[in-house]
Structures are given as structure tokens and as C-alpha cells.
Amino acid sequence: MTDTVARLSTAPDPVEPLRRSAGPIVVVRRWWRLLTSMRTALVLLFLLAVAAVPGSLLPQRSLNQSRVSAYYAEHPDLAPILDRLSMFDVFSSPWFAAIYLLLFVSLIGCVVPRTRMHFRAVRQPPPPVPSRLERLPQSATFERDLSPAAVADAATAALRRGRWRVVRRRVGTGGTRVDDDGTVELSAEKGYLREVGNLAFHGALVALLAGLAVGKLNGYEGSILVEEGSGFCNSFQQYDTYRNGPFAGAGDLTPLCADLDRFSTEYEDNLIPARFLAELTYTREIGGPASTYPLEVNSPLRTDGVRLYLTGHGYSPRFTITYPDGSELTDISAPFLPEEQTTLASTGALKLPDRPGAGAEDPQLAIEGFFVPTAANLGDNRLVSVDPRPLNPAVAIVVYQGSIGLDSGAPQNVFRLDQRQIDRGVLERVAAGNLLAGQSLELPDGTEIRFEGYKQWAALQLSHDPGQLTVLIASVVMLLGLLCSLVVRRRRLWLRCRPADPAAGGAATSRTVVNVGGLSRADSGSFDAEFAALVKKLVADSSGRN
């Protein structure tokens, strides 16, 4: 069986080991072939799989910075070593990128030549009939009372009907043997789509990797907490946190402003959340026409290549401060972070702005608090939340007076007071108490702090990923290619129609011996059955004319 006969795919040949004395060009070419070989593909696939494992088991900065800090605290010796190996940023580490790039290059290096090869194979006729058909994995022999040419005609028609590609060769006129005894040979092939599918799959994988890279380099993402009644615009300064690719500059941001009009939740009887709804009003240019959008989990706002998501929610307690001189600060609120997702008991801090008309010497006020949407009365002085719905909101607050330290320049956590200011004694605890809505707490200096109730806030995330559509299309092509490559079988069939009595000469014979041989990839299922059915059909067809 010759190589061209058996070759049913464009898989690269195994690479032989390198000889010592090879010249530089040979060496480069060998390395290139090694990089694009099946074996390397196998190794790279495993390498990628193995490399992803630590990224899934160790905390990752991109997913949760605070877990990384916790890991540092728990393993003070190990963590720095792991960090130096990029173990907390696995998916953006140089070594992960290296595997990714190698795979990319290897894929291109394998897809391009294989595509050329397959293109050639499609245009070439199926290979000539091998000399010993009975050696093929599938073979059969039958006889018919027809001339070889007539048998070949019938078989050609039958195979073409079955969408086989058929080539007919008359022995002696460029066929495999020189003695013209009237023998006619047919070569047929089917299932080219398998290779097309396989190449589409690998090619689309290249496109997918490219799309991922484009998205990472040019995309950005920002998140922000927005209270009911306020809003934000798409700019890096406004976000609480943001991440941008190296090619995504502040000037490239799509203009978009959104206000949160109202936030609401619905719960099932057992208090699991059934629906979150953030009612938005947004404009796509400053001063432009405003539209509204009901933003929900699983249904982002998509506009102008950016997407706005609802990623979380919580409560902001609301206060009114009345100073002894009668001046007031109204509608003071700050988002509190849920400590418990089931009851939404939340903690946070308010760093109050200066009293209207206050001098530089006047002390500042700060409040640390614990908010519960539905307070249960336990009798003692503790606040406990029993329901995520705001049925009976209450806060426990501790009030501080002094210097908050905002002007020191050091960044502060908005959800907590700066403990160093307290330790240094410049921020002093002056009062504490539990308040239901409408109740107030009086400070020693006569200032009154009134708990007015709550607002809700929504965590919003705005994302832009220019590679996303490429990735989607590429993955659909991958899937279709994969299906073709796994479902379609490439197979070949050969017929040799030989006069039973060669001495009588080609045209005159009326009895023909037909040898049939078939070849398919052993893996691909039941070619035996198909071959048997084909032979049966060929027998039936060529006898039907009789």
C-alpha cells in the first residue's frame, strides 16, 4: 500500500530525531517542524492545562485581591516566593503568555501548510488503484455478466449518486499497467469535509486566541457603586476600581452617563432573591437625549460597544446632622457593604463634610456603623438582621470627632475610618447608640444625628472588549468545524474491473471480475458496514442492467 493511497489526512509526519552534523538551515527547519508537529501540539495542550491549575487553586489578584492578602497573612514565608513566580497572577504571567504564544505560533505553523496540502488534495484526482486490493482493510470480489466498461459505467453512476468523487482510468492509457487487456479501474473518494472541518477548527482557534489578545490589549472595565438618585459618567477618574489594557487610553472611552433612579428587589417566600432591578436613565453624550433602561442581572445594557452590568447591591443609611448653631447637613449617606448576603447586615463609615461655615479649627465628624434592613428586637442592646428586605431598618453607630485625616494625602478606605487617626488620639469617640428610622442621637456638644432611613445602591460595571465578537464567531466556527471533523469520515474506494477471460480482448468480453477495495480511518466507526452495503449495491446495480 503506497503512502499516497493510505494518506487520508493532512496530519504532519512524525519528526525524526535531529542528526548531529546538520547545517544551520536544516536545524532551523527541523525545529520549526518539531514546533508544528502533532507531538508538540499534544505537549502544548497539556502544558496549558497544567499551567492553568495553580491559577484555579491559588487566590488570584484579578479575581479577589483580598484573598491574596489573606493568603499572604497565612503563609508569610511561602507567599512571596509564589508571588515571584507570578502564582497570584497566573493568567497574566510571562510563562502563561509564553505557552499561549507557542501554541499560537504552532497552530499557525500547522494550519497553513495543512491547508495548502488539503487544497492540493482536493484538486488532485483520487490516487490510482493499488496493485493488491485484497491487502486493503476492506476488500471484496464479485463477477458480473457484463463487459468491464459497462460494469465501470454502472459503478460510476452509482457512486456519483452517493456523492463520491470518481475517476476512471483505463489500464494501458496512462493507468498503472501497460498491457491493455480491457481492464478498467475506478478510484473514488468521499468525505473531504472532514479535513475542511478540522482545518476550520484549528484556524478558528487561531482567530479565537487573536480575538482574546485584541480584547485584553484594547479593552477596559470599570466598577462603581451608585446610590439611588445619583449617577456616574464613563471615565477612569470616576470609577472605584478599573482595569484597562495597555492600548486603552482615557481618551478612548465611549461617552456614557447613567443615573440610578430606583433600585428594587423581589424575594421568594424563603427569602432567596428572585429579581434585582436597577432603573437607569442614561445619555450617550453629555446633554444628549436621555433614555431609560431596566437593568437586571443577566440582562446588561448594551450600547455603542460598551456594556453596563448590575453586579451587586446594598443599602446606604441616611442621616441629617443638626449642629448646635442650627445649621444642618441633610441627606448624608454612604454605601455600606453587606457582611452577610442572606440578611444584608452591612457595615460602613461616613466621613462627614465640614459644617457649613466651619473654620479650619472646628473638629470633623465621622460615623462608623452597622446597618440592618430588618432589625429584630432581642431585648439586649444588640442589633440583629433577620430579613434582607427593608422592613424595619436600624443602625448601630459610633460617632467620632476630631481629624479624619482625609487631607493627609494617603488613600483611605471609604468603608472604614482610618484606625491610625483613632490610635493617635486625633479622632475621638464621642457617642454611640442604636437608632430606628426617625430616632436621633445627641452628642455631648449638642449636635444631633438623626437616622432618616436608607437609600439603596447598585454596584455597576462598565466593560468594553473589542475582541468579543471575533471570539464568539471563532468559537461558533470551531464548533461547526469540530462537528464536521468528528462526524464526517474520509474514505476511499477502488474498483478493478477485469475481463474474466483476458484473451478475448477488452470490448468483446461479457464477463467481468470486479475487485473492490476500501480504506477509511480505523477510528471513524463503521466503515465495514458501509463497505458491505456499497458492494451489495454495486453488485445489484451492475446486474440490474442485464
Strand, coil or helix: what is 313?
strand
Segment contacting ligand HEM by CB under 6 A, of 37-45, 73-81, 86-94, 442-450 = 37-45
The minimum distance between CB 169 and another protein, in angstroms, equals 24
Question: What's the grid cell of residue 539?
Answer: 453488485
Amino acid at 236: F
**Site membership for another protein, residue 189 (CB under 8 A):** no
Cα distances (Å, whole numbers) of residue 480 to 200, 316, 476: 8, 50, 6
Is 531 a binding residue for another protein by CB under 8 A? The answer is yes
Residue 33 contact partner, candidates ligand HEM, another protein, none, CB within 5 to 8 A by sort of partner:
none
504 is an interface residue for another protein by CB under 8 A:
no
The angle at the Cα of 222, spanning 341 to 295, to the nearest 5 degrees, equals 60
The candidate with the shortest Cα–Cα distance to 531, out of 167, 170, 162, is 162
298 near 308, Cβ under 8 Å? no
Least distance CB 81 / another protein (angstroms): 21
When CB distances are held under 5 to 8 angstroms depending on the partner's kind, the choice from another protein, ligand HEM, none that residue 36 binds is ligand HEM
Question: Does 270 interact with another protein (rule: CB under 8 A)?
Answer: yes
Q: Which one of residues 12, 211, 231, 373 is an interface residue with ligand HEM (CB under 6 A)? A: 12
Binding range to another protein, per CB under 8 A, among 38-46, 109-117, 285-293, 322-330: 38-46
Q: Map the footprint of another protein across residues 300-329, applying CB under 8 A.
A: 300, 307, 309, 311
Q: Which of 21, 237, 298, 546 is the binder for another protein (CB under 8 A)?
A: 298
Contact 209, 108 (CB under 8 A): no
Binding mask 203-242 for ligand HEM (x = CB under 6 A): --x-------------------------------------
Instruction: Check residue 16 for interaction with another protein (CB under 8 A).
Output: no
- The least distance separating another protein from the CB of residue 472, rounded to whole angstroms, comes to 7
CA distance 428 to 401: 5
**Alpha helices, H only, 58-131:** 65-74, 78-84, 94-123
Are 471 and 212 in contact, with CB atoms under 8 Å apart?
A: yes
Write out the H or E segment, with its range, that includes residue 205: helix 192-218
What does the alpha-carbon distance between residue 337 and residue 349 come to, in Å, rounded to a whole number? 10
> Which residue, among 323, 344, 326, has the nearest Cα to 335 in the 3D structure?
344
- Min separation Cβ 471 and ligand HEM, Å: 14
Cα separation values, 390 from 213, 373, 393, 499, Å: 45, 4, 6, 95
Distances in Å between the Cα of 287 and the Cα atoms of 257, 284, 290, 330, 413 are: 10, 9, 8, 28, 33
200-239 footprint of another protein as x/- string (CB under 8 A): ------------x--------x------------------
Q: Which of 3, 74, 77, 269 binds another protein (CB under 8 A)?
A: 269
141 binds, among another protein, ligand HEM, none (CB under 5 to 8 A by kind): none
H, E, C per residue of 471-531: HHHHHHHHHHHHHHHHHCCCEEEEEEEEECCHHHCCCCCCCEEEEEEEEECCCCCCHHHHH
To the nearest whole angstrom, how small is the minimum distance from the Cβ of residue 272 to another protein? 5
Q: Is 136 in the site for ligand HEM (CB under 6 A)?
A: no
**All three cell numbers of 74:** 497565612
Query: Based on CB atoms, which residue is closest to ligand HEM, 32 or 72?
Result: 32
Nearer to another protein, 181 or 387 (CB): 387
And the C-alpha cell for 435? Answer: 437608632
Give the residue from 194, 9, 135 showing the smallest Cα distance to 518: 135
> Which listed residue (5, 36, 55, 196) binds another protein by CB under 8 A?
55
Residue of 138, 147, 183, 198 that binds ligand HEM (CB under 6 A):
198
Strand partners, 347: 337, 370
Q: Which of residues 457-516 bind ligand HEM (CB under 6 A)?
A: 485-486
Which positions from 104 through 133 interact with ligand HEM, judged by CB under 6 A? 106-107, 110
Backbone φ, ψ for residue 346 (5° rounding): -130, 155
> Least Å distance between CB 230 and ligand HEM?
46
Interface segment toward another protein; rule CB under 8 A; list 46-54, 159-167, 347-355, 443-451: 46-54
93, 115, 139, 322: residue in contact with another protein (rule CB under 8 A): 139
Binder among 68, 103, 171, 344 for ligand HEM (CB under 6 A)? 103
CA distance 364 to 427: 9
361 binds another protein (CB under 8 A): no
d(CA 292, CA 281): 4
Binding site residues, ligand HEM, CB under 6 A: 9, 11-12, 36, 38, 41, 45, 103, 106-107, 110, 198, 202, 205, 485-486
Binding site residues, another protein, CB under 8 A: 9, 11, 14, 38-39, 41-42, 45-46, 48-49, 52-53, 55-57, 60, 62-63, 90-91, 137-140, 212, 221, 268-270, 272-276, 297-300, 307, 309, 311, 461, 463, 465, 468, 471-472, 475-476, 478-479, 482-483, 486, 522-523, 525, 528, 531-532
